[in-house]
Amino acid sequence: MNTVLLLIIGLAVGGGAYYFFSEYLNKKGQDKAKDKAHKVIEDANLKAKDIILEAKGKAVKALSTIKSEEKTRRSQLDKTEERISRIETQVEKKEKEAEEKKKNVQAKIKQIKEIKKELDGLRKKQITKLEKVAKLDREQAKKLMLELIEEENKDLLLKKLKKIEASNKEELEQKARNIMTLAIQRYASSHVSETTTTTVALPDDELKGRIIGREGRNINSIERLTGAEIIVDDTPEAIVISAFDPVRREIAKITLERLIEDGRIHPAKIEETVNLAKKEVARKVKQAGETAVYDVGVTGLDDKLVQIIGRLRFRTSYGQNVLIHSIEVAHIAGMLAQELGLDPALCKKAGLLHDIGKVVDHEVEGTHIEIGINILKKFGLSQDVVEAMRHHHDDLPCEKPEAAVIAAADAISASRPGARKDTLENYLKRLKELEDLAKGFDEVEKCFAIQAGREIRIFVNPDSVDDLQSVKLARKIADKIEQELKYPGEVKVNLIRETRSIDYAR
């Protein structure tokens, strides 16, 4: 019992001691916290005072700067107002002087009118007196005097007129020559005559055998599909494409280049590559038209018309590329128009489009001028452009100066030394006539003149022509060539009747 009592008393004393010790510690911690808080507040007050002082200093400095700037601006405004005031004073002074001069001029005009009126009156009186004395009115006297003078000085007048006429003619001719020379000098472009062959480089001579193929099937496929002749000779690392049609040469060239790059050369791949080459040529045609229009600076043309212009890239006239010729005519016409005070834009447009009919003159009846007029009207070109281009071959008299400019520019471009070759044009014409003759037979699907016109390769529909009929047809074509065409040597008629059998294994 005593032990429990002592334990209770001990617990009570220990709890009391713990309570008093805890209170002591809490009171001491609160005192320290209060001291620390007072110190933080004092530091904050000191920093706030420093910030306020610094802000007041900056404000005073900014106010001083603003006052200085305001003083400067006021000084400038005062000077400006003073200058404006002086100018106003000078203007008022000049206005007064001008008003005085105006009054003086009006007074002099009035005085001159009065003098003129008085002189007219005196002149009329004198004329009336002369008419009474001569018994002739004014017109009769004038006529009689002119007749007498003309009769007395007839020879002299004729000599003067001839001299004036000769002088004016020489002066006009010299001026025209100067204008033409200036236009030619300003557009001194180079020109290259078109050829009928294209060379394709080979990485090695082993490819020649692959291009020919087994029993010539590859080279025959290329020639059949492109219409160009492939010449494989002893020339190292090169083969030659021969065709008078630039489109065929371009298609054959692209086909060969792609086949060489790909490495797979067989009839199926050749046919696929030819189709791709035709699409690429169509893209080049469009690009050529857009480039030509941009180069000349002509705007507002229909996209289809621009594509037709691009087809001129693959047309030649006397060995001269028609697209290059048309661009040249447009530039020269624009320069002539500037010299003569005409519309350069109209002349450029008419110059670029003057030979547009040559794109389809081998497909449509009529001259290239008539075809060109129809094309321009179809695409809504103005009548001024049509009138300017329709007279460029002097078939009709030029009714407007722009038409004369186009005719002159066309003649300048065509007559420059080396621009055209008559023999090449005649040669190309002969090849075209050879193809057109063969196409006149209904059984013919397509034909190509190759080997410089020494061979005509003809493809017929195998379903409508049998072997015997193909022999007879070849003879008919050969007879017609002999009767209607003139050519050196002989022409080989190579008629091909090809049958294809296609099936699929599934």
Specify the pLDDT at position 28.
64
Q: Cβ contacts of residue 48 below 8 Å, gap of 6+? A: none
- Mean pLDDT for 142-168 is 62
Q: Is the dihedral of CA 332, 335, 341, 346 positive or negative?
A: positive
Distance CA(59)–CA(65), nearest Å, equals: 10
Specify the pLDDT at position 138.
62
Q: In whole angstroms, how far apart are CA 334 and each of 96, 361, 374, 410? A: 52, 27, 24, 12
State yes or no: pLDDT of 363 exceeds 60. yes
Strands 492-497 and 455-460, by their bridges, are parallel
State yes or no: pLDDT of 154 exceeds 60. no
Specify the pLDDT at position 293.
82
The single-letter code of the amino acid at 78 is D
Burial of 141-167, coded b for 16+ CB within 10 Å and e otherwise, reads eeeeeeeeeeeeeeeeeeeeeeeeeee
Mind spelling out the 3-state secondary structure of 14-76? HHHHHHHHHHHHHHHHHHHHHHHHHHHHHHHHHHHHHHHHHHHHHHHHHHHHHHHHHHHHHHH
Q: Could you tell me the pLDDT band of residue 428, with boundaries at 50, 70 and 90? A: confident
Specify the pLDDT at position 143.
72
State yes or no: pLDDT of 302 exceeds 80. yes
**Furthest-apart CA atoms within the chain: distance in Å:** 188
Distance CA(417)–CA(394), nearest Å, equals: 22
Q: Which of 234-248, 357-371, 421-435 has the highest mean pLDDT?
A: 234-248
Q: Cβ contacts of residue 225 below 8 Å, gap of 6+? A: 255, 270, 271, 274
Residue 111: CA atoms inside 13 Å, Cβ hemisphere, count? 6
- Mean pLDDT for 402-411 is 80
More confident residue, 475 or 312: 475
Whole-number average pLDDT of the chain: 77
More confident residue, 18 or 201: 201
State yes or no: pLDDT of 151 exceeds 70. no
Specify the pLDDT at position 203.
81
Q: Could you tell me the pLDDT band of residue 100, with boundaries at 50, 70 and 90? A: confident
DSSP structure string for 223-291: HHHH--EEE--SSTTEEEEE-SSHHHHHHHHHHHHHHHHH---SHHHHHHHHHHHHHHHHHHHHHHHHH
Specify the pLDDT at position 22.
65
Among 73-82, 184-193, 271-280, 486-495, the minimum mean pLDDT is found in 184-193
DSSP structure string for 390-449: TTTTSSS---SHHHHHHHHHHHHHHHSTTS--HHHHHHHHHHHHHHHHHHTSTTEEEEEE
Closest CA to 172 of 393, 338, 340: 340
More confident residue, 263 or 196: 263
Specify the pLDDT at position 192.
45
DSSP 3-state of 463:
coil
pLDDT digits (tens, 9 = 90+) for 184-232: 545 545 444 455 677 888 888 788 888 888 888 888 888 888 888 888 8
Distance CA(118)–CA(163), nearest Å, equals: 43
State yes or no: pLDDT of 347 exceeds 50. yes
Specify the pLDDT at position 422.
45
More confident residue, 459 or 358: 459
Place of tokens 């941009």: 294
Specify the pLDDT at position 164.
60
Distance CA(38)–CA(326), nearest Å, equals: 99
